[in-house]
Chain A
Amino acid sequence: MTENTRLEATEMNMPAATILARSDLYHMPSTTVRTPDAEPRSAKVIARNVSVFYGPKQALFDVSIDIPEKSVTAFIGPSGCGKSTFLRCLNRMNDTIDGCRVSGQIALDGSDIFAPSLDVVELRARVGMVFQKPNPFPKSIYENVAYGPRIHGLARSKADLDEIVASSLQKASLWNEVKDRLHEPGTGLSGGQQQRLCIARAIAVSPEVILMDEPCSALDPIATARIEELIDELKQNFTIVIVTHSMQQAARVSQRTAFFHLGNLVEEGPTDLIFTSPGEKRTQDYITGRFG
């Protein structure tokens, strides 16, 4: 792990010219994506020509992207650019919005998530989600984490469940802070702790992909730093897609970055490349703060 991080850090600091010189790393066939931590990864999620309509209004235009497994992909872009909308397509949360229609294909591990044979409940168990505002249930900390395993019948006994709860909280690096008060309400935690509780809750169902919709926008810088550290650890086991408004955050946590603008996916590539030598003028304008 530490070695990987160091490797990544050195790559992050590479001058743009070097990166361009090694650009063969970044133009892979669509089913494999190479991330800066050197190893080629297969694409976990493949989206092709995804469009989203809210009633008559089209919010997303023909988005195609490959999301590599066990790494962090960041979606950036100005407000209303469709990045959250696209994120919510990946576990079909848009189904819960009245009048929302999605076209195009999205495949998770090669199987179509819009196929009639696919159970959306199962999909959401495989593709977990963390929301913008921490939204713990009005239940105890324990019950919050146990909720998912309970509804999916993942624990055979009370001890099993305790084990899942404990390990999820540990993975979300919240265990030490709450282990003595598991039965106090989750709503009594601080904002950053609540968000980590929501991450633990998502981890508890052992998903393969975790979608994070601006997970730090309601948090202070210290809590944000802890969540970012956590994301960095989680990428060993999970495929993470994060929507963020903060370009620094995208640069810090992600291996690949996708820039959305006005419902279009403008550009997508390795994070360091996007930030140092973007291929599109609009991307450059956005990351240099000229608009957005």
Chain B
Amino acid sequence: MNTAIIAALLLILLGIAYQTGCSRSRSLTLGGEARLHSRPVYHGALVAIWSLTPALLILALWALFGDTASRAYLLAQLPPETSSLAPADLDGAIRRIRQIESGFGIIGDAQPWENQAAEALREFRILTSAAIIAAAAGTGALALWFARSRISLRLRARNEVERMVSWAMIGCSIVAILTTAGIVASLLVEAIRFFTFVSPIDFFFGTVWNPGFSTTGHGSAGEYGLLPLLWGTLMVATIAILVALPIGLLTAIYLTQYASPRLRGFVKPIIEILAGIPTIVYGFFALVTVGPFLAGLGNLLGLDIRATSALTAGIVMGIMIIPFISSLSDDIIRQVPRAMRDGSLGLGATQSETIKRIILPAALPGIVGAFLLAVSRAIGETMIVVLAAGNSPYLRLNPGEPVSTVTVTIVNQLTGDTDFASPQSLVAFALGLTLFAMTLILNVAALYIVRRYREQYE
């Protein structure tokens, strides 16, 4: 309820401020040759920004510290006998009081002192929120008046608004950067905690993965060798790429160079539907259809292929990333200038010579980029491998055998009861960090290759 009122008030403030700015600046030009430096809309926007910013700041401060303040007030209201309570019980009491105050049910009957405290809390809440709203509206109005008084013919409102907008954009990009940094930092911290249980050498170079269960107690019970998982990941990703790269690339070449516009308009969206299928659906497609088919095929050929294996997961994952490769390469091939194609055809080259010798080399950096993007997608893919790879973390050469991957293991270690203090669950962070490092390296490599070849070609 409060939120709705505040939002409505802010909107009203915004509207008034904008209108004030517009009409004030317009009135300056009435009856004269005078020209405004900026158009009235910029004056309106400037006044609106000025008046909204302090109001929003006050609300933001309240959102950050309001809870602490109300808790402090509540503690002061509690009768003296509660001061002997343990911190955990005190927290429980405060939670009960807050629930009484907000009208939710509580377990057991409310004590009279709890009811009293709830009553006090309610009064405090109404008072403070009224005060906050008043403060926000007051500063907003004050700022509005100040911004309005600044309006003059020469005020460079447009420049100021544009500067503020660019600051806002910088702010947005900083949010993205900080989030990334935060994720990396938390991965790092937890991974370092893991490495206090298990030495990094055992982790990165160990060939046995057998972590035991977290319920078996603390300490480094079990072995945490990364290599079987890494091997499984690479095997599945390689199979996926072997499936997806030729199919995707040839599809893109066909669609851009040979297909009629009508056929292209029909085929391209269908291929892109593949990208929209949830990975879990691919997972049971692998489990129910592809796995048994491959096993049967293996029987026919006299090969030992299990239904859930690296091969099953890899092939289905390959199908999943076909649209990545084909769509990206399609766009890239399309960007090769028509003049190149005409130049080659005009010399009497055939279509296929033109593609092989002119178009593909010119599009190569982009295609490599698409390829590496697809690889990092394949490495990070989880659901298909959870269902179809067999979850068997052993070093095996035969792709027909079940494997396990880094992502699957993270899922295994974090599902069920976890306490984030045992190496069994902390290992997930070390695995996540490894995965992150791998995709990071791939992306950097992609950037490097793209840049290097671009120099050569432009």
Contacts and interface: CB of A to CB of B under 8 A. Distances in A.
B339 A96 contact: no
Contact of A138 (B261, B342, B349, B456): B456
A21 interface: no
Main secondary structure of the interface of B (DSSP, over half): helix
Given A98-B260, A151-B353, A138 B362 contact: yes
Interface string A125-152: 1101101010111110000000110011
A202 B349 CA distance: 12
Contacts of A128: 346-348
Contacts of A133: 339
A198 to B, nearest CB: 7
A14 interface: no
A198 B261 contact: no
A138 B345 contact: no
Contacts of A125: 347-348
B357 to A, nearest CB: 7
B335 to A, nearest CB: 13
A93 B342 CA distance: 8
Interface in A183-211: 185, 187, 198, 201-202, 205
Contacts of B357: 147, 151
Nearest to A132: B339
Interface in A109-131: 121-126, 128-129, 131
Interface in B330-371: 337, 339-350, 353, 357-358, 361-362
A91 interface: yes
Contacts of B337: 135
A135 B337 CA distance: 9
Interface string B436-458: 00000000000000000000111
A152 B348 contact: yes
Interface residues of B, number: 23
Contacts of A148: 347-349
A129 B341 CA distance: 13
B242 to A, nearest CB: 29
Contacts of B347: 124-125, 128-129, 147-148, 151, 201-202, 205
Contacts of A123: 348
A131 B361 contact: no
Contacts of A131: 339, 342-343, 346
A152 B342 CA distance: 17
A151 B349 contact: yes
A16 B349 CA distance: 46
Contacts of B345: 93, 96, 124
Given A98-B261, A131-B343, A135-B340, A151 B456 contact: no
Nearest to B453: A138
Contact of A129 (B260, B346, B350, B458): B346
A137 B457 CA distance: 9
A64 B264 CA distance: 37
Contacts of A135: 337, 339-340, 342-343
Nearest to A123: B348
A205 B342 contact: no
A96 B458 contact: no
Contacts of A152: 348
The 6 closest A-B pairs by CB, nearest first: A125-B348, A129-B346, A135-B339, A124-B348, A138-B457, A148-B347
13 contacts: A98-B260, A98-B261, A129-B347, A133-B339, A135-B340, A135-B342, A138-B362, A138-B456, A138-B457, A147-B349, A147-B357, A151-B349, A205-B348
Interface of A: 91, 93, 96, 98, 121-126, 128-129, 131, 133, 135-139, 147-148, 151-152, 185, 187, 198, 201-202, 205
